[in-house]
């Protein structure tokens, strides 16, 4: 695998025409790139920021069918997502695993209602079922959730779903696409969509944000997979385009694992704002979220609102003994998802586009995909490429991703965060063995090592300090302040690896310090 920006840019300069050019390097765009490249199409993916910089690195870290969508009657979406959940476990076992969830119950009716729904959830998974839902008595709930409030507790339900590391899966998808011949680039900004004399899309123009060099490429198909930013690209296609989406924010807070207890996750199915609230063990911390707050503007680095933080802490306090307070919060983060844009008569509409995806063909043949969720990234990729074939007349080639191993795939287990490296772990271990200084920790309280910095510079296309600290090792989301303390040491080694000077180090540390403010209270 050659996964370097310099080589990717050389490929852009020498290519006459691409079969498929994808705008957007989040879950959706990366899934499309893997599908297209594995079929044999000449594929280019360009991402304005880093891979999964936006919503795709700020999920609740769950691979799930969506229990609440079943409650809403969206059986088709749940059925499809449960199948994809099972496939992800098989194709990327190093970054995904089965997680036990417990729903505490304070009423007999509520307990039976959720048990019936979860039994159906199990049944719909069919041969890809990963566990069996069961009733728990009060004692068993307390054993699994030792910090749960016991007043009025009559028992609960245990069920099983999936968990994963979203940003790590994203970089592995980018690597997988490259292994199948795709050219994949981060920090490249699309500034124009080009068309032929008949008004059909035939390529695009983008700027390398590292050098400001402008590239014009030709492509038989162009796919807009930019998530909450789809309207920005559609306006490049049609200047009079009216917005399709409005963002809704989901906020999360991260606290010490002592606030939840054992290895089981907490699921509160009905909160005061109608959302499900999760308390999920993740990388030796606990993730609490999420909210649902409609916004009028979208941005690449949203910050949780004060009312969201208060809502999460108050909800946790209603269910947990000695619940976390603001002083216990290690990190906060927010992700945006698209809602249908409100009409003039209903400016406060929060109607969701769908967590199912929607494919749109513009008169110019620009293909746009909206909606969707991480769990169904593979299926979305398959259907988008099929749609592009039908739209642009590309040679029809069969999908190959159903049982395609993702880069790093292995069933070997590693302790701690090392698990997410999968089959790359041996090479990282060798770095530490060959150069003992690379075995040093980047922060005394955490097991991240200097060898990981070198590995990310060599094999994971990091460009900025935040790419490493936020997405390659997740430090920013786990303990924002500690990640800031580690930043100077990491920046210095990154500069050596990427041939950058002291000015680069100073600028990166300034940028990262500003970013950390968005992740701390």
Domains present along the chain, CATH in parentheses:
5-56+167-244+348-392 (3.50.50.60), 87-163+246-340 (3.30.9.10), 417-517 (1.10.8)
Query: What integer is the mean pLDDT of 446-451?
Result: 98
Query: What integer is the mean pLDDT of 451-474?
Result: 98
Residues present in the chain in total: 521
Residue 34 confidence class, pLDDT cut points 50, 70, 90: very high
Q: How many CA within 13 A on the CB side of residue 251?
A: 22
Instruction: Give the C-alpha separation, 452 to 443, whole Å.
Output: 13
Which of 77, 267, 252, 45 minimizes the C-alpha distance to 166? 252
DSSP 419: G
**Token reading at 11:** 């490929």
**Contact by Cβ (8 Å): 163, 185:** no
| Strands 183-185 and 155-164, bridge-based pairing | unpaired
pLDDT tens-place string over residues 242-266: 998 888 999 999 999 999 987 999 9
Instruction: Give the C-alpha separation, 48 to 54, whole Å.
Output: 10
Query: What is the predicted pLDDT for the residue at 68?
Result: 72
Instruction: Give the C-alpha separation, 223 to 90, whole Å.
Output: 28
Peptide bond just before 102 cis, omega within 30 deg: no
Helix orientation angle between 108-125 and 75-91, rounded to the nearest 10 degrees = 60
Average pLDDT value for the chain? 93
Which of 293, 263, 294, 292 minimizes the C-alpha distance to 280? 263
Query: What is the predicted pLDDT for the residue at 349?
Result: 45
Above 90 in pLDDT, residue 275? Answer: no
277 or 44, which is more confident: 44
CA distances from 361 to 29, 164, 279, 388 (A): 16, 32, 39, 9
pLDDT tens-place string over residues 479-495: 999 999 999 999 999 99
Q: What percent of the chain has pLDDT over 70?
A: 97
Q: What are phi and psi of 97, to 5 degrees?
A: -160, 165
> % helix / strand / coil in the chain, to the nearest 5?
40, 25, 35
Helix orientation angle between 166-179 and 27-39, rounded to the nearest 10 degrees = 20
pLDDT tens-place string over residues 166-212: 999 999 999 999 999 999 999 999 999 999 999 999 999 999 999 99
Query: What integer is the mean pLDDT of 350-371?
Result: 81
pTM of the model: 0.96
pLDDT tens-place string over residues 395-433: 999 999 999 999 999 999 999 999 999 999 999 999 999
Query: What is the predicted pLDDT for the residue at 77?
Result: 81
Sign of the CA dihedral 293, 297, 300, 306? negative
Instruction: Give the C-alpha separation, 399 to 174, whole Å.
Output: 18
Token pair 């590309």 is found at 394
Above 80 in pLDDT, residue 460? Answer: yes
Token pair 């200047």 is found at 239
Above 60 in pLDDT, residue 352? Answer: no
Which strand (E) or helix (H) includes residue 282?
Answer: strand 277-282
CA dihedral 60, 110, 355, 254 (to 10 degrees): -10
Query: What is the predicted pLDDT for the residue at 476?
Result: 98
pLDDT tens-place string over residues 85-110: 999 999 999 999 999 999 999 988 88
Query: What is the predicted pLDDT for the residue at 350?
Result: 46
46-60, 63-77, 271-285: segment of lowest average pLDDT: 63-77
Residue 269 confidence class, pLDDT cut points 50, 70, 90: confident
């Amino acid at each position: 695998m050659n996964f370097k920006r310099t080589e990717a840019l050389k490929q852009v300069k020498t290519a006459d025409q691409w079969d498929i050019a994808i705008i957007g390097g989040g879950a959706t765009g990366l899934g499309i790139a893997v599908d297209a490249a594995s079929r044999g199409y000449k594929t280019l993916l360009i991402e304005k920021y880093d891979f999964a910089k936006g919503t795709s690195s700020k999920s609740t870290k769950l691979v799930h069918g969506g229990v609440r969508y079943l409650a809403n009657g969206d059986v088709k979406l749940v059925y499809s997502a449960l199948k994809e959940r099972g496939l992800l476990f098989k194709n990327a076992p190093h970054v995904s695993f089965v997680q036990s969830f417990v729903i505490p119950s304070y009423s007999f009716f509520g307990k039976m209602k959720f048990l019936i729904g979860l039994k159906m959830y199990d049944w719909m998974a069919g041969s890809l079922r990963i566990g069996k839902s069961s009733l728990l008595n009060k004692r068993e709930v307390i054993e699994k959730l030792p910090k749960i409030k016991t007043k009025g507790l009559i028992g609960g339900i245990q069920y099983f779903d999936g968990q994963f590391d979203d940003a790590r899966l994203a970089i592995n998808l980018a690597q997988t696409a490259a292994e199948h011949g795709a050219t994949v680039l981060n920090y490249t900004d699309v500034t124009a969509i080009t068309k032929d004399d008949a008004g059909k899309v035939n390529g695009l123009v983008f700027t390398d944000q590292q050098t400001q060099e402008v590239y014009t490429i030709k492509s038989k198909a162009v796919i807009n997979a930019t998530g909450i930013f789809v309207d920005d690209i559609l306006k490049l296609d049609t200047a009079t385009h009216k917005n399709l989406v409005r963002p809704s924010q989901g906020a999360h807070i991260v606290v010490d694992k002592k606030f939840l207890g054992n290895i089981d996750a907490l699921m509160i199915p009905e909160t005061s704002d109608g959302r499900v609230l999760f308390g999920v063990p993740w990388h030796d911390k606990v993730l609490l979220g999420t909210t649902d707050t409609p916004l009028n503007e979208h941005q690449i680095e949203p910050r949780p609102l004060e009312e969201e933080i208060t809502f999460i802490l108050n909800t946790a306090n209603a269910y947990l003994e000695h619940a976390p307070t603001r002083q216990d919060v290690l990190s906060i983060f927010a992700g945006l998802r698209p809602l249908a844009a409100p009409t003039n008569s209903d400016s406060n509409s929060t109607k969701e586009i769908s967590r199912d995806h929607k494919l749109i063909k513009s008169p110019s043949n620009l293909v746009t995909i909206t909606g969707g969720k991480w769990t169904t990234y593979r299926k979305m990729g398959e259907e988008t490429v099929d749609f592009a074939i039908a739209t642009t007349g590309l040679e029809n080639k069969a999908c190959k991703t159903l049982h395609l191993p993702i880069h790093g795939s292995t069933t070997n287990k590693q302790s701690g965060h090392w698990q997410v490296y999968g089959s790359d772990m041996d090479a990282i271990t060798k770095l530490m063995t060959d150069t003992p200084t690379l075995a040093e920790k980047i922060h005394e309280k955490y097991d991240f090592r200097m060898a990981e910095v070198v590995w990310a510079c060599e094999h994971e296309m990091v460009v900025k300090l935040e790419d490493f600290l936020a997405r390659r090792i997740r430090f920013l989301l786990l303990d924002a302040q500690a990640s800031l303390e580690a930043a100077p040491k990491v920046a210095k080694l990154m500069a050596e690896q990427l041939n950058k000077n002291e000015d680069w180090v100073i600028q990166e540390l300034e940028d990262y310090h500003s970013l950390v403010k968005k992740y701390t209270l």
